[in-house]
A and B are shown apart, each in its own frame.
Chain A
Amino acid sequence: AQSVTQLDSQVPVFEEAPVELRCNYSSSVSVYLFWYVQYPNQGLQLLLKYLSGSTLVKGINGFEAEFNKSQTSFHLRKPSVHISDTAEYFCAVSRYGGSQGNLIFGKGTKLSVKP
Chain B
Amino acid sequence: NAGVTQTPKFRVLKTGQSMTLLCAQDMNHEYMYWYRQDPGMGLRLIHYSVGEGTTAKGEVPDGYNVSRLKKQNFLLGLESAAPSQTSVYFCASTENSSGNTIYFGEGSWLTVV
Contacts and interface: CB of A to CB of B under 8 A. Distances in A.
Contacts of B72: none
A27 to B, nearest CB: 15
Contacts of A42: 106-107
B42 A51 contact: no
Interface residues of A, number: 24
Contacts of A46: 101-102
Contacts of B100: 100
Contact of A51 (B33, B44, B96, B98): B98
Interface string A2-42: 00100001000000000000000000000010000000011
A42 B102 CA distance: 15
Interface-central residue, B41, B43, B48, B105, by most chain A CB under 10 Å: B43
A36 B58 CA distance: 20
A43 B106 contact: yes
Contacts of B45: 102-103
Contacts of B99: 51, 100
Given A44-B90, A105-B44, A100 B104 contact: no
A92 B101 CA distance: 13
A101 B106 contact: no
B105 A43 contact: yes
Interface size class of B (residues with CB under 8 A): 20 to 34
A90 B102 contact: no
Contacts of B44: 105
A77 interface: no
Contact of A44 (B31, B58, B104): B104
A104 B35 CA distance: 11
B3 to A, nearest CB: 9
B104 A43 contact: yes
A107 interface: yes
18 contacts: A32-B98, A41-B107, A42-B106, A42-B107, A43-B106, A44-B90, A44-B92, A44-B104, A49-B101, A92-B43, A99-B31, A100-B100, A101-B31, A101-B94, A103-B43, A103-B102, A107-B41, A108-B40
Interface of A: 4, 9, 32, 41-46, 49, 51, 90, 92, 97, 99-108
